[in-house]
Amino acid sequence: MKKTILTLFSLILFSFVFAQQKVALHHQGNTTIYGGSNPFVTAYDSAVSGDTLYVPGGVFAPPSSFTKRLVIYGTGHYPDTTSATGKSVISGNLRFQNGSDSSFVEGLEVTGDIYTDNNHKVDYLTVSRCKLNSFMMNGNMTTPSNYATVRQSVLNGSVIFSNGTFNLVTNNIILGYVSAGNNNAMYNNIFLWTSNYYHNQFASLSNCHIANNIIKHTGYITNGNLNTFSNNAFPSGNPGGTNSYINNYFNQPFDSLFVETIPASFDYDTDYFLDSASNYLGTDSTEIGIYGGLYPWKKSSVPSIPHIIYKKIPVATEPNGTLDIEIKVNAEDY
Task: Flag whether 40 is in a domain.
Answer: no
Task: Flag whether 97 is in a domain.
Answer: yes
- Summarize the confidence of residues 209-233 as an average pLDDT: 96
Q: Which domain holds residue 72?
A: 56-304
pTM over 0.85: yes
> How far is the C-alpha of 49 from the C-alpha of 25, rounded, in Å?
12
Q: How far is Cα of residue 277 from the mean position of the Cα atoms in its chain?
A: 24
Instruction: Please check the confidence at residue 84 and state whether its pLDDT lies above 90.
Output: no
The pLDDT score that the predictor gives to residue 52 is 97
Instruction: Please compute Rg for the chain using Cα positions.
Output: 21
Task: Flag whether 7 is in a domain.
Answer: no
Task: Flag whether 45 is in a domain.
Answer: no
Task: Confirm if 157 and 131 have CB atoms less than 8 A apart.
Answer: no
Task: Flag whether 42 is in a domain.
Answer: no
Task: Flag whether 315 is in a domain.
Answer: no
**Per-residue pLDDT tens digits for 139-195:** 999 999 999 999 999 999 999 999 999 999 999 999 999 999 999 999 999 999 998
The pLDDT score that the predictor gives to residue 9 is 46
List all residues 6 or more positions away from 121 whose beta carbon is below 8 Å from its beta carbon.
Answer: 98, 143, 144, 145
Instruction: Please check the confidence at residue 103 and state whether its pLDDT lies above 50.
Output: yes
- Summarize the confidence of residues 229-243 as an average pLDDT: 92
From 65-79, 84-98, 171-185, 234-248, the region with the lowest mean pLDDT: 234-248
Task: Flag whether 318 is in a domain.
Answer: no
Instruction: Please check the confidence at residue 92 and state whether its pLDDT lies above 60.
Output: yes
**In the chain, how many domains are there?**
1
Q: DSSP code of 32?
A: E
Task: Flag whether 48 is in a domain.
Answer: no
